[in-house]
Structure 1
Amino acid sequence: MFWLMSLTMLASATSCSQEQKAQIKEALPGTPAKAGGPQPTLDSVYVVRAMNAEPKFKDQVEWAKKFYRERQFRLGWFRNHELVPQAKTMLGVINKAADEGLDPKEYKTKDFDKLFADLEGVQADSTKRNALEKEIDVALSGTYFNWASDFYRGTVDPRAVKTIDWQVKRNKIKLHKALMTILQERESTYPYYEFEPLHPEYEQLKKALADYRALQRNGGWPTLPATTKLKPGQASPAVATLRQRLLGTKAAPAAAPAATASAEAVPARTVANNPAAPAPTAAVPAEKYDAELVQAVKDFQSQNGLNPDGVVGGETLRLLNVPVAQRIDQLILNMERWRWIPKKFEPDYLLVNIPDYKLHVVEANKEVFNMRVIVGKALNATPVFSDKMEYVVLAPYWNVPYSIIDKEMRPKLAANAQSYLDRLDMEVVKGSGAKATPIDPNSINWASLTPATWKYTLRRRPGPKNDLGDVKFIFPNSNDVYLHDTPHDELFSQAKRGFSHGCVRVAEPLKLAEYLLRNKPGWDMTKIEETIAGRKELYVNLPKHVPVYLVYFTSWVDEAGNVNFRDDIYGHDKSLAKEYFN
């Protein structure tokens, strides 16, 4: 399941074996006679001074202090004056940082080849050897924290950049503990010791990144003419290009049907593009848009958030012609977002992926169902954050936000408030809840109303006209955003569902309400429907608060291994790209 975690169990710690010693000797060739003596130790002054001396280590000073303080300032990367094999492993990982969408040069701040060679040359002099061991040890720790901060926490701090909307609870990984795990000094359920990512979804994107880069090296994929319009069964010179784009094959022979598409025949991820395929000429009969290619187009449409009708043109054509370089950047940006996600999700939670217009319901780390949602339009973007759902409201009132009163309702309220509100089944009240008392709407000066003078609540009564439908799901937050029903079910059939003022409308509210109240005695579907029919607002506390994540991922790999892309509906990818790539 796209969103779910599968945590790797920690391997048991091992002692320094003969094989490990051989690896160390391989890293430090030609071992001369060594001076004896105890392993040197550090102190806080040395650690701070050494870290601050390297500009790229300055931001990691606190991690270094915690790491060495916890080990009483013993060296971390040496055992009996021998470099531990994890040092070589880490440097190898850094050499491959580009596979993670990171720049290896950012982490190669020290010339370890020279340092290791210098260390080998002073083995007979304990004073010089000890001094170099201390220098190398802090340099290795600084290098690790510099790399691990980007790899595990992200190169961009989303809370430090105003244009990036991300208020999901923080990834609270403790990098000094992670380093202790790597050095086999503590155990952890997280795969730090393997220098591996925390989320399988990240690993899947990393593999997709490698595939797309391979496609790019082979010339990318062909571009279809801007005037292309194809329906199943039609013949067109563009069919050959479309076949090459999606199936990675040349034009099908005119005398033979196209080969059956394999399960892996999906857009560009599993089939290498063939840039050397000759373009169709006037002498070659136009190919027919056959069933095999229609299915490939439908798969592409599904993986790009479109309704799979098999028709090529419009949005489908636009997405087919997105350059592979743009898709590579999109994969990298979404890998970065996974670094911001907490180390693990709770066993039970709700997750809304805003660009995908979908809600995922997860129980015991497995998705039990999902449903379509409607999110905020671009001008009223649904915020990216997390919180905990506390209660379900049946037969809710809809309290009209002041912004809607001001921008959409003011003229008609000023003309004849009572008549206008009666048609909308609305009322003005003072106070809230059971203590709310009706106010004559004609007694309010709507024309000169300001936020400071607005002391009441304008609300729509429970019923079929209510904008919140029959149910709303509350997770109290400063954004005043929640999940709710809607009377406009017809909108869920749209592929792009950005229609709300910021809240999230769910396609199956009663199913979600029944699920959330499943462990509350007496609250089955019959009870829920009877309460709604009574048209009296009722708050029902959940037996256990449920974490809710409203996130923003425009690329992921699904259970079938297919790469999915979605449009950057709020421009968050664009804002992140400015920070990440610059």
Structure 2
Amino acid sequence: MKTFLFYAALSCSLLASCENAGNSINAAAEKEEEEKKNITKRDYSITKANSYSDLFLDSSAMEQYITKRKDLDASIIRRLRSFYNARNYQFAWFTSEGLTEQARSFWNLHDYVTTYDKDTSLRDKILQKKMDALIAEDSLSVSASGDFIQTELNLTQHFILYHLNNYEKGFIKRKEMERFIPYKKQDAVAMADSLLNKKHKNDKYFEDVNEPYRLLKEQLAKYSEITKKGGWRQVPPAKSLKKGSKSAAIPFIKKRLQLTGEMPGSDTSQLFTDTLENAVKVFQKRLGYTTDGIVTASLIKDMNVPAQQRLAQLLMNMDRMRWMPTEPTGQLIVVNIPEFILHVYEGKQKAFDMRVVVGKEAHSTVSFSGDLTTIVFSPYWNVPSSIVKKEILPAIQRNSSYLEQQNMEITGNVDGLPEVRQLPGDKNSLGKVKFL
């Protein structure tokens, strides 16, 4: 009897063990299957011929990065793999010519949340130093080598962390995040259709919190329709036209402005009317001209920019809006760079405007948002290394007194390049007051 009980107990134990083992195997298989569902399949349709970036990394390089980063959470690892599968392992933040505009925009956003929102999880001194150097170097040759691969993957890791930390779960879907950065060269009309056909739930994180993005999307719909219908006819050359003028070019101008909504009605006469003058002023304001209602050769040139090119510009600016922090409230200082105007707002109410100097196009700064905390009187200007290399050093070679004449001095040397700063005074490029 005892022997029977022993064997019976042993049999039950073995059965239980087998059942538990089977359950464990099934659970592991289910978990693996579930993880596969959360990883985008590799998109082999992306090739060097149609990719947004001309640089690709090997999947083994990413696996090496994951192995070395012992601190990576399993969900981050899964998202990294999914992110690069969606791009067929194309670089997201670099081309062979250097940092992409998206990389610079994301880093501005990164700086904002680490500085003003105090997001300590995104602080990385090594990456910060690397990015500062890359941004300062505007003539950069990039290759798919170890150092750039590490920076590329580190930026993507921070990009994923940023979204996880700053948006509630499910607010931005994983696949939307993976398509956030351009991955294929696309025709402007096709790209516009893709954006306009998005359901609100997939675009709400821009439309709901970013008013400029929503307004640009409204214009995108209009210009997309115009482009599909063939755009607008070219306005023929004409001398300066103003109210009261008569010209064969005026009917073309009227049709052009009626098409894009600046001019109401259907008048196509050769007379420059009050209605046309008002329409021209609206068009001028949109393009940053002085609103005097006078049609010049320069204005006609802007009217003749093809509709498809204007559509591409709208798409580009919508992409820039996607990288801006959530629109702040309260007292705001807003600089509209193309307009050369600074606007001051008290809540939603505009307080006043003033003209500003926004710098040269060659030395452009990516759009950014930040808190004004400091005013510096009689500031020093620390000249960026790229300007030192391209402008200051050649000027010194031509004229040994250049630094003295420009009220500049050398304060140090980094990697064989002098550090130059401009002293306070009338010649200082920052003016008499600097706002930080």
TM-score when normalising by structure 2: 0.51
Question: Residue in 2 aligned with 1:459?
Answer: 423
Question: Residue in 1 aligned with 2:163?
Answer: 173
Equivalent in 365, 370, 373 of residue 356 of structure 2:
373
Q: How do 1:193-208 and structure 2 match up within 5 A?
A: 194-195=201-202, 196-198=204-206, 199-208=210-219
SS state of the match for residue 393, structure 1? strand
Q: Is structure 2 residue 289 aligned with structure 1 residue 306?
A: yes
CA deviation after TM superposition for structure 1 residue 203, in Å: 1.8
Q: Is structure 2 residue 327 aligned with structure 1 residue 337?
A: no
Task: Give the partner amino acid of 2:395.
Answer: E
SS state of the match for residue 341, structure 1? coil
Contact conserved, 1:348 with 1:363, CA < 8 A, in 2?
yes
Equivalent in 42, 54, 67 of residue 55 of structure 1:
42
Change (3 A) 1:363 1:387: same
SS state of the match for residue 305, structure 2? coil
1:309-351 alpha-carbon deviations (Å, 9 max, x no partner):
3222322001111222222222222222222223454655544
Separation in 1, partners of 2:296, 2:166? 53
SS state of the match for residue 241, structure 2? coil
CA deviation after TM superposition for structure 1 residue 159, in Å: 6.7
Separation in 2, partners of 1:364, 1:330? 29
Task: Give the partner amino acid of 1:303.
Answer: R
Equivalent in 236, 239, 253 of residue 250 of structure 2:
239
CA deviation after TM superposition for structure 1 residue 356, in Å: 3.5
Contact conserved, 2:172 with 2:205, CA < 8 A, in 1?
no
Task: Give the partner amino acid of 1:45.
Answer: E
SS state of the match for residue 352, structure 1? strand
CA deviation after TM superposition for structure 1 residue 224, in Å: 0.8
Question: Residue in 1 aligned with 2:433?
Answer: 471
CA deviation after TM superposition for structure 1 residue 169, in Å: 0.9
Contact conserved, 1:231 with 1:312, CA < 8 A, in 2?
yes
Task: Give the partner amino acid of 2:99.
Answer: K
CA deviation after TM superposition for structure 1 residue 413, in Å: 3.7
CA deviation after TM superposition for structure 1 residue 456, in Å: 8.1
Q: How do 1:485-500 and structure 2 match up within 5 A?
A: none
Change (3 A) 1:206 1:381: closer
Separation in 2, partners of 1:323, 1:362? 35
Change (3 A) 1:374 1:53: closer
Separation in 1, partners of 2:171, 2:271? 59
Contact conserved, 1:357 with 1:372, CA < 8 A, in 2?
yes
Contact conserved, 1:181 with 1:193, CA < 8 A, in 2?
no
CA deviation after TM superposition for structure 1 residue 41, in Å: 12
CA deviation after TM superposition for structure 1 residue 376, in Å: 2.5
Task: Give the partner amino acid of 1:240.
Answer: P
Change (3 A) 1:197 1:245: same
Separation in 1, partners of 2:224, 2:92? 26
Change (3 A) 1:334 1:455: closer
Separation in 2, partners of 1:306, 1:66? 51
SS state of the match for residue 310, structure 2? helix
Question: Residue in 2 aligned with 1:291?
Answer: 274
Change (3 A) 1:411 1:322: closer
> With CA pairs under 8 Å and 6+ residues apart, which has the higher RCO, 1 or 2?
1
Structure 1: segments with no counterpart, 5+ residues: 1-39, 70-140, 184-191, 249-263, 281-285, 432-448, 476-582
Contact conserved, 1:228 with 1:313, CA < 8 A, in 2?
yes
Question: Residue in 2 aligned with 1:323?
Answer: 306
1:492-514 alpha-carbon deviations (Å, 9 max, x no partner):
xxxxxxxxxxxxxxxxxxxxxxx
Separation in 2, partners of 1:156, 1:239? 49
1:242-273 alpha-carbon deviations (Å, 9 max, x no partner):
1122135xxxxxxxxxxxxxxx9516xxx69x
Question: Residue in 2 aligned with 1:394?
Answer: 377
Aligned pair count?
Answer: 290
Contact conserved, 1:430 with 1:455, CA < 8 A, in 2?
yes
Equivalent in 9, 23, 46 of residue 33 of structure 2:
46
Higher helix share: 2
Change (3 A) 1:326 1:465: closer
Higher strand share: 1
Deviates most, 237-246 or 337-346: 337-346
Task: Give the partner amino acid of 1:293.
Answer: L
Task: Give the partner amino acid of 1:205.
Answer: L
Contact conserved, 1:301 with 1:307, CA < 8 A, in 2?
yes
Q: How do 1:181-220 and structure 2 match up within 5 A?
A: 194-195=201-202, 196-198=204-206, 199-220=210-231
Contact conserved, 1:399 with 1:458, CA < 8 A, in 2?
yes
Structure 2: segments with no counterpart, 5+ residues: 1-26, 45-58, 67-73, 111-158, 174-198
Question: Residue in 1 aligned with 2:262?
Answer: 266
Separation in 2, partners of 1:42, 1:177? 31
CA deviation after TM superposition for structure 1 residue 301, in Å: 1.0
Change (3 A) 1:218 1:465: closer
Task: Give the partner amino acid of 1:459.
Answer: L
Separation in 1, partners of 2:227, 2:294? 27
Separation in 1, partners of 2:34, 2:399? 69
Separation in 1, partners of 2:75, 2:421? 52
Change (3 A) 1:362 1:157: farther
Q: How do 1:63-142 and structure 2 match up within 5 A?
A: none
What is the Cα-based RMSD across aligned positions, in Å? 5.1
1:344-389 alpha-carbon deviations (Å, 9 max, x no partner):
5465554434334333445557654443222222333335455554
Task: Give the partner amino acid of 2:262.
Answer: V
Deviates most, 329-338 or 374-383: 374-383
- The percent identity for this pair of structures is 27
Separation in 1, partners of 2:368, 2:270? 49
Contact conserved, 2:408 with 2:420, CA < 8 A, in 1?
no
Task: Give the partner amino acid of 2:42.
Answer: P
SS state of the match for residue 109, structure 2? coil
Task: Give the partner amino acid of 1:470.
Answer: K
Contact conserved, 2:379 with 2:433, CA < 8 A, in 1?
yes
SS state of the match for residue 300, structure 1? helix
Contact conserved, 1:197 with 1:203, CA < 8 A, in 2?
no
CA deviation after TM superposition for structure 1 residue 305, in Å: 0.9
CA deviation after TM superposition for structure 1 residue 465, in Å: 5.5
TM-score when normalising by structure 1: 0.40
